[in-house]
Amino acid sequence: MTFLYIVIAILIFGVIIIIHEAGHFAAAKSCGVRVNEFSVGMGPKLFGWGKGETKYNLRALPIGGFVSMEGEDEFSSDPRAFGNKPVWQRLIIVCAGAAMNLVLGFVILIIATSFSDGITTTKVAGFYSEDSPSHLSGLEVGDEITRVNGMRVFCDTDISYQFQIDEDRTFEMTVIRNGEKLILPSVKFDGSAADDGTSSLVIDFYVLGEKVNPLSVISYSARKFVSVGRMIWLSLYDLIRGRYTINDLSGPVGIVGAIGDVVGSTAHGVPIGEMLLNLLNFVVFITINVGIFNLLPIPALDGARAFFLIIEAIRRKPIKPEHEGLVHFVGLMLLFGLMIVVTFLDIKKLF
């Protein structure tokens, strides 16, 4: 089954990469830039074909891709060269790949939500027992949870996120009750002991669901899109401030393992339809993650290229290509180094 998980992972990454590079490609073509090559994958070329001025290649390593434009990293006298286009057009081209990943995430969210049995709300429907700690500490049936520990709740996943990162099992909740906003300062939950001696939060209430219709699908998909994006930003912030370490990162091997957990859940009684929805939601997280990460001003990423273009627009002259190229080269080497370390740690976790 491991081979199947690898194939699924390659297909997922392939779609995400193709969509990303297609964004750059379409934006470049619409701005009149000459595109010399469109490649999926990195490393040696497996096969390719040519159509017009552009060569299309599939390369051996499914870890990325690129669109090679005339005059992108060097001077070119061609009026259709990337470097000869206005800054605003180059900004659109550079950011189009990440934008397409975000669009893909939203589209998949709409598809997954459309096929779900119901849409989860944040309104309390009931409690699993009369003496539920959350009920005894202030939560009531009919409460619509709008904030947890000060963080705005867009959908149910925001509540789950706060429950996962909290340590004392006591939460400040803002709810709408009978049309009025109330702040519940100390909503409490139980903890249960696990086999490894740690404790986990026991959720003692359940929420209402609403019917699936076009309006509710679009509304929920938009709110969950914002929720996932914010969750990724918060995770990056937590990584920077030391809440997470490099051991908590996952590379290709870790992602294959996560895909295996999702796909393999059918062996533990999870219906195939539910598994497919879980897989789609996992893909949503990956593609939104790719889109946001690529917009960060990290050398070798689209965000850094956009940053240099913004500097060019402000100072009205470009950074010397050799200087910018050196920055991107160093960044690329550091990213490759990080990928190697994370992959090693992923493999280590398997044993």
Tokens of 345: 């740690």
Q: How far is CA 296 from CA 60, 202, 327, in A?
A: 27, 36, 15
Question: Which is nearest to 61 in space by CA: 349, 315, 343, 260?
Answer: 343
DSSP code at position 194: -
21 is catalytic: yes
- Rounded Cα distance between 238 and 226, Å, is 18
Q: Is the dihedral of CA 19, 20, 26, 29 positive or negative?
A: negative
User: What pairs with residue 39 in β-bridges?
Assistant: 57, 66
| Class of residue 171 by CB neighbours under 10 A (exposed 0-12, middle 13-18, buried 19+) | buried
- Of 21, 70, 72, 324, the catalytic one is 21
Q: How far is CA 147 from CA 164, 177, 191, 227, in A?
A: 15, 13, 22, 13
- Specify the residue for token string 């550079």: 94
What are the helix (H) ranges across 57-193?
87-114, 133-136, 156-165
Pair type for strands 199-202 and 54-69: unpaired
- Rounded Cα distance between 159 and 288, Å, is 20
Question: Which is nearest to 339 in space by CA: 300, 308, 306?
Answer: 300
Instruction: Find the helix packing angle between 272-294 and 214-240, rounded to 10°.
Output: 50
Catalytic residues: 21
